[in-house]
């Protein structure tokens, strides 16, 4: 028996270096073997490119078919699948995906250099998103076309899928992070464990992974967001263009999106900031109407502008009639829930489920709830059910699971069908769409969806849209269908926001008191030389649209507050930005001007929920509406102005270029007032965050 100590001693002895003679003999033997060996391959040495897998498959199949093994089609059908399987195994043996050596599959995504990412992430514009989405869809369709008829084994699914993606998307944009496997494609691809600092794909391919900076990872996670790009309202000369017309907007999605951006550590893209939605996010104690017969009341004030000593602000405040719970009609609600693969994130479907549970607990026993889901196809999860059977409704919500592509069009049609099935006369009939906004099956064009919604709203069923998550948010589509569905759009980023929208503001979210509400302001050139509407860029209407009852506009819910602010330049103060017309005065001074003491004339046109003919409310704005000093304005007025300044600052507008975040903070702090839910305190923290991220410019 060999002694262990002896073995250990032999193991530790260094291997002697070969001598010169030994090296010479070995070299001569190798040369003789090379010259004399008849089995040496005649093929050229080196790294000649082989055929692609698709070309190899075609050649192999051609060789098999040329054997003429099949006498009849029946025999061909019996053996076609086994031969296809043999062909796949043959190709894998001939050219495996990863050999463990230096062999490398060409033209994979890992071979391509990673483009430098911008310093801060931004959502795509509509045109960029359309191009990206089209390329992604074409790549996915091509990959599905080449997929085998029978599902692959789990251990090979990730390998085959990634290799196929590398070959088929050579001209497509770089892929998003690994979670994108779940977007619009059902369940996520099998997870492959990779060493730290590598990607699963590069490990499988046997390649060195391309380095990806952290900021680029953030960009790729977010760059599928679609927002509508728009230009800030310009300064207009009252003499040339005295009339301003727009639809009211009670949406709040922009504020929530801005808040999430700031809390995640970067300033929001300018086009995600809609100033009017930020102002109208907060509840205000404007004076409301006494009875429901007049659905709202308007209050107009003229005050100094904090950011410009030469101009004034014309502040238009509207308050809707606040119906008591006992007066609210029965509700017939259809929850239209996106359960596509892209919703498989914690801040999407799980948050959505919690949000809708809150709403169900707020409803009355006689109210009705239906649930429709859509992914690869639409399906009814819950037929119309009374809230008295609350457990049944909550259980249906809890069992929802993500997977599949996004057939939004089919879901909308099914939701409206169920709403009609349980329609409540003189009640609340509403589809409540909850989604990250990505429709890619059926009608996906915003204009097509708009026409579909316009057709359905004539039935008396309204539509509200609730957005969830980031990285795939289609804000452009959400705004389009909400505005044309006689509904509102909100963005829910936290459970606290869900409580605000669906519990605290439930009556205004669900119970519409006036529809197609339009505002038209005519400025008096004798008193006002220039004006500028702050916000409402995406709600602008033509002057003639104001009296056209066929033109759709915004809705006001029970207790809703709506605020619009104009910055005006009084005539003759020398602060005009537009040169006067050479011949303009002749038109004004010819025979005098009626109502010359008025700043403006405010007109509001609206329809009652069940009527098609509009009604008109008018308010002249005179010196009686003036507030001599900004500090004398009400707490709510001053706070709303602070929010308006903040929104303009985030958009980097010229008007507030020299007005720092510290000034905004000063106004908002002094005007915080009663803040039972902490919304205004949170606003102050957002101003501080923006100041830290962007500098107190």
Which of 149, 143, 173 shows the shortest CA–CA distance to 161? 143
Q: What is the model's pLDDT at position 688?
A: 97
Judged by average pLDDT, the poorest of 434-443, 463-472, 514-523, 640-649 is: 434-443
Which of 236, 233, 274, 230 shows the shortest CA–CA distance to 554? 274
Residue 458 CB contacts under 8 Å (≥ 6 apart), including other chains: none
CB under 8 A, 24+ apart: contacts of 657-660: 657/697, 658/307, 659/306, 659/307, 660/691, 660/696, 660/697
DSSP string, 525-565: TTTEEEEEEES-GGGB--GGGGG-TTS--EEEETT-EEEEE
Which of 123, 182, 460 shows the shortest CA–CA distance to 344? 182
Tell me the residue length of the chain: 697
Q: Token pair 């609600």 is at which residue? A: 333
CA distances for 203 relative to 109, 162, 166, 194, 268, angstroms = 12, 11, 13, 7, 36
426: its two tokens: 């003189």
Local structure of residue 689 (DSSP, 8 states): H
Structure confidence by residue, pLDDT tens digits, 86-126:
555 544 454 444 444 444 333 333 333 333 334 444 555 55
Q: What is the model's pLDDT at position 128?
A: 56
Q: Under a CB-based contact definition with an 8 Å cutoff, are residues 276 and 564 in contact?
A: yes
Q: How confident is residue 134, by pLDDT bands cut at 50, 70 and 90?
A: low
More confident residue, 525 or 375: 525
Number of Cβ atoms within 10 Å of the Cβ of 459: 12
Residue 604 has pLDDT above 80, yes or no: yes
Q: Give the span between the Cα atoms of 282 and 278, in whole angstroms.
A: 8
Structure confidence by residue, pLDDT tens digits, 475-490:
888 888 888 888 889 9
Q: What is the average per-residue pLDDT within 349-372?
A: 95
**Whole-number average pLDDT of the chain:** 76
Structure confidence by residue, pLDDT tens digits, 407-436:
667 788 899 999 999 999 989 999 999 998
534: its two tokens: 């702050």
449 alpha-carbon distance from chain centroid: 16
Structure confidence by residue, pLDDT tens digits, 197-226:
333 333 333 333 344 444 444 444 445 777
Structure confidence by residue, pLDDT tens digits, 163-177:
333 333 333 444 433
Judged by average pLDDT, the poorest of 142-156, 332-346, 381-395 is: 142-156
Q: What is the average per-residue pLDDT within 232-255?
A: 95
Q: What is the average per-residue pLDDT within 151-156?
A: 40
Q: Give the span between the Cα atoms of 269 and 230, in whole angstroms.
A: 12
The runs of H, that is alpha helices, within 422-491 are 446-457, 475-484
More confident residue, 70 or 692: 692
Task: Report the range out of 8-12, 326-330, 403-407, 612-616 with the highest average pLDDT.
Answer: 612-616
Q: What is the model's pLDDT at position 576?
A: 81
Q: Which CATH number fits domain 236-323+513-577+593-694: 2.60.40.1230, 2.60.40.10, 2.102.10.10, 3.40.50.1980?
A: 2.60.40.1230
Q: Which CATH number fits domain 329-485: 3.40.190.150, 3.40.630.10, 3.40.50.410, 3.40.190.10?
A: 3.40.50.410
614: its two tokens: 């509009």
Q: Where are the chain's structural domains? A: 50-95, 109-224, 236-323+513-577+593-694, 329-485
Q: What is the model's pLDDT at position 149?
A: 46
Q: Give the span between the Cα atoms of 430 and 457, in whole angstroms.
A: 10
């Amino acid at each position: 028996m060999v002694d262990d100590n002896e073995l250990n001693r032999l193991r530790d002895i260094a291997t002697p270096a070969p001598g010169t003679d030994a090296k010479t003999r070995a070299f001569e033997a190798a040369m003789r073997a090379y010259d004399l060996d008849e089995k040496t391959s005649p093929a050229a040495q080196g790294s000649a490119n082989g055929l692609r897998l698709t070309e190899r498959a075609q050649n192999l199949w051609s060789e098999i078919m040329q054997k003429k093994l099949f006498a009849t089609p029946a025999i061909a059908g019996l053996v076609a699948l086994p031969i296809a399987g043999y062909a796949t195994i043959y190709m894998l043996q001939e050219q495996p995906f990863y050999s463990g050596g230096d062999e490398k599959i060409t033209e994979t995504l890992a071979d391509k250099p990673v483009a430098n990412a911008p310093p801060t992430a931004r959502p795509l514009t509509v045109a960029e998103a359309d191009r990206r989405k089209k390329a992604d869809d074409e790549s996915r369709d091509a990959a599905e076309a080449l997929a085998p008829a029978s599902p692959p084994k789990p251990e090979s699914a990730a390998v085959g899928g990634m290799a196929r993606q590398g070959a088929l998307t050579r001209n497509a944009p770089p892929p998003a992070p690994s979670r994108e496997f779940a977007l619009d494609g059902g369940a996520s691809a099998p997870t492959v464990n990779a060493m730290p600092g590598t990607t699963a794909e590069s490990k499988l391919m046997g390649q060195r992974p391309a380095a990806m900076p952290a900021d680029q990872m953030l960009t790729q996670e977010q760059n599928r967001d679609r927002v509508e790009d728009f230009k800030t309202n310009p300064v207009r000369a009252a003499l040339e263009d005295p009339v301003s017309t727009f639809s009211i907007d009670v949406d709040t999605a922009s504020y929530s999106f801005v808040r999430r951006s700031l809390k995640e550590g970067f300033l929001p893209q300018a086009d995600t900031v809609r100033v009017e939605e930020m102002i109208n996010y907060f509840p205000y104690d404007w004076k409301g109407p006494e009875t429901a017969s007049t659905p709202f009341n308007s209050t107009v004030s003229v005050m100094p502008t904090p950011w410009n000593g030469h101009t004034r602000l014309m502040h238009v405040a509207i308050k809707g009639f606040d119906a008591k719970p006992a007066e609210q009609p029965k509700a017939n609600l259809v929850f239209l829930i996106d359960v596509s693969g892209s919703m498989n994130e914690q801040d999407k479907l799980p948050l959505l489920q919690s949000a809708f549970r809150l709403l169900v607990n707020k409803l009355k026993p006689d109210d009705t709830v239906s649930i429709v889901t859509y992914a690869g196809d639409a399906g009814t999860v819950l037929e119309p059910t009374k809230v008295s059977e609350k457990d049944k409704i909550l259980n249906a919500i809890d069992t929802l699971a993500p997977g599949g592509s996004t057939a939004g069009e089919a879901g909308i049609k099914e939701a409206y069908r169920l709403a009609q099935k349980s329609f409540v006369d003189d009640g609340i009939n509403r589809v409540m769409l909850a989604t990250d906004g990505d429709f890619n099956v059926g009608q996906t064009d915003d204009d097509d969806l708009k026409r579909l919604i316009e057709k359905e709203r004539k039935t008396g069923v309204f539509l509200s849209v609730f957005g969830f998550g980031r990285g795939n948010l289609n804000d452009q589509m959400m705004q389009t269908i909400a505005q044309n569905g006689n509904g509102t759009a909100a963005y829910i980023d936290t459970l606290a926001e869900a409580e605000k929208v669906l519990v605290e503001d439930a009556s205004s979210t669900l119970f519409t008191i006036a529809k197609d509400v339009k505002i038209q302001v005519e400025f008096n050139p004798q008193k006002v030389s220039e004006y500028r509407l702050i916000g409402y860029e995406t709600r602008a209407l033509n002057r003639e649209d104001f009296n056209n009852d066929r033109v759709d506009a915004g809705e006001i819910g029970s207790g809703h507050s709506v605020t619009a602010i104009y910055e005006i330049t009084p005539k003759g103060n020398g602060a005009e930005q537009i040169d006067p017309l050479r011949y303009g005065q002749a038109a004004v001074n010819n025979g005098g001007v009626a109502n010359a003491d008025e700043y403006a004339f405010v007109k509001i046109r609206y329809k009652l929920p069940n009527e098609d003919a509009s009604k008109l409310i008018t308010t002249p704005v005179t010196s009686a509406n003036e507030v001599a000093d900004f500090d004398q304005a009400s707490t709510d007025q001053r706070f709303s102005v602070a929010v308006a300044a903040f929104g303009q600052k985030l958009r980097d507008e010229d008007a507030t270029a020299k007005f720092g975040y510290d000034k905004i903070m000063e106004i908002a702090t002094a005007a915080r007032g009663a803040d039972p839910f902490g919304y205004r305190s949170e606003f102050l923290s957002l101003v501080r965050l923006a100041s830290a991220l962007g500098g107190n410019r």
